[in-house]
Structure 1
Amino acid sequence: MAPGLGRLGPFLSTEVLDVLRVLDATPAPHGHELAAAMALRDWCAARWPDIAWTVQRYSPEGANLVASCGAGPLLYSHLDTSLNAAESEAAITGRADGCGPLRVRDGRVDGFGLGVARGPAAAALAGFVTARRGSLLLAGSGTHRRGGASAGVLAYLAHHPRPPAAIVAKCGPPTVLWEEPGALYLRVEVTGGYGAALAPDSAVPSGGIAAYAGQILAAVSAWRDSYLGSRPPAGQIGPQVGVGAIRSGSTAKPDLLPARVRLDLYVVTMPGEEPVRLAAEVEARLRVAMAGTALGDCTVGVTAEPLHPAAGTPRDAPIVSAARRLWQAEFGGAPPPIAGWTGSTDGVVLRTHGIDTVRLGPQSGRSPDDPRRETLAVDQLVAFSRIYAALLSDPSPSLDRRGGSTGA
């Protein structure tokens, strides 16, 4: 730990909670972070006028908040939240009521979007202003969405010098990560012919394809088992697949039997995965599963939307060594080993740009009052603020050495 950082607990606690209150006041959905970035920029500029706080737009409503105190690593987190607080994402959460404001009680903070990623973002900002070294990027588009992967960090990299190393401040496992998997979306479409509910045989298959959604899901589930079985975990990371959306027909006109079922999958990938080949693999598996069944006359198509490939940093890279050392200094023990981690962040984007990157942050939980809200221990946020500040302040010349990254 850097000299004096251990005495900063009360100061950092105040800073982290104040930043969280600013973030909680303005929604920041993916690709629409401009209002939140401007509000936080204005607040930071008034509080720390000796630092230049800049809003970098990457689209009409998308924006990053950027600050720099000279040479040193890049400290990264993001502004956007996984859910949209304004609409509450009722199709996902099953609720359409408001989430309520931030609360602090019994040493914990409880609120919307804390885990992804307001809690670690606030800890990163407080650590940055403590260290007064390196750069801070609170990016837009840091969560996964169709059609807008990593726009914020890519805009930053396009207009700023490449940093010597990067630290990703994000909730995750209780350890230090130097490898992260990749991610992509798969869209599966099975199409027959539409008909009328009053005449079931008018549809292909008879009764309408929506009635066979279970059969399609079973075939996808069988492919998932094969995918996971053929791609064992390696190093710190592992594969995963989830069916995140299913759609068929019209809720406004259910007297018509739909011709199509659409599934959207999120796939966590290992190094070397080729999205087009993976889509072809799923399509072939479904064709075989449908042959000779009521779905045999239907067509199937699978398309892939890559988000980013898996990437890693060498375990002996200076930024990784420093993070492991500072973890031990803060928590009194070495970072625990981990295998099969399936979370992917913009850390892989930084690595594919030749930047040695390490990821570490607090562990969030769901609020017992509302699962859309998350809860974090204030003292854990403060502990990671100290680690982030120490990583930025590390006097080792090796942290200013530019180095390449390797596959995970």
Structure 2
Amino acid sequence: MATINIRRDVKDSFYRYKMPRLISKIEGKGNGIKTVIPNMADIARSLSRPPSYPTKFFGCELGAQVKFEAANDRYIVNGAHDAAKLQSLLDVFIDKFVLCPACKNPETDLIITRDHDIIRDCKACGKRNGVDLRHKLSTFILKHPPANQSGKKGGKKDKASRKQGGANAATAANGGENSVEAASGSDDELTRRIVSEAADLPSAHQYEDDDDWAVDDMSEAAIRARQEKLTGHLQNKLVLENEDDDGGDDLAGVASKYDEFGDYLTEHPNSSVDEIIAEAKALQVWGKHRAIEVVVQALFTTDVVKQLAKYQKLLVGFGRTEKHQRSILGGLERLIGVKYPEQLLSKTPSIFLAVYNLDLVEEEVFAKWAEKVSKKYVDKETSKKIHAKAEPFIQWLQEAEEESDSEEEDE
């Protein structure tokens, strides 16, 4: 089998790091056409990565569904893609998820930290550098850790193919309102952006410090205190539920950071996304999942469906972990149930569909949210109302997933 340099920009024929040249084989025709990469396992072995990682990366970059048949060493990308194109994408994968940024050496291992960061640990120079957590592959890696950090495995679902059915479900639930269409923007653009991204929920030990959507103190006084914080002069202020996720900082100091961030957003509602990011970094809340709750409550109004599309880059930029996605839902619960219940409660299916179509929250996170009524963000009765209104969307999501599973079994 022909080999090439792992770094193709290095022309030295004696370069020690080699990998097989990628081979692609196109099978099928029409809507069933697909590209098989018969030597993906060998390539991945040369890169010290699971073969599912580069395959999934191809799917993310091409907006295509992928399939792994590890037992048969078959790694498939839907659609027809020539070897040269995939080889170029593999170069990008190597740069983002294999090479050490310091010494450009491929002798790295991926390590997932307790804070759900992904680190490239270089065995050559000793440097430890993170990867871009905003990339969709990072979410996949967190759910499917490398060896010795195992998580559960699951199948893939094609979100883009379900959009029209979801729009119909939300429209029917809202009495024919067209708010989803306004949020979707260009359907072609969304189809290119939204790719297959679903797997079983992570195992419990991966999130052992998680609060599991609940709080301990549910006395009337505690509930009233939280509601007062929500409906006070700054409805966007963050309610810290006995959890300090900012590296052990003083809890009052942490709350102050979020209050300052909320004050800035309220006083500068027309700030650009870049300006908001700069302020978040200055206050050291950039990347924190709880800052997302502040953004949703401070910036979003009854026109939330359009605003979700406007601030998509900002929300995704904070992070792609399950906690970040849950914070989006938590902020929306407060927005729908506390701030604008009369205007938004009936539009819950449309709002959630927009969130799903914009790839802000994955179906596994929606499924976990739907499992039980939470008292973390709003009181129990309000949470029940939101869950009830969201039922058409959740039911559609479940049915679409079952149909996708059935189609995969037929294939």
Q: TM-score range by the shorter chain?
A: under 0.3
Query: More strand per residue: 1 or 2?
Result: 1
The TM-score, its normalising length taken from structure 1, stands at 0.25
Which structure carries more helix by proportion?
2
The structure, 1 or 2, with the larger RCO (C-alpha pairs under 8 Å, 6+ apart) is 1
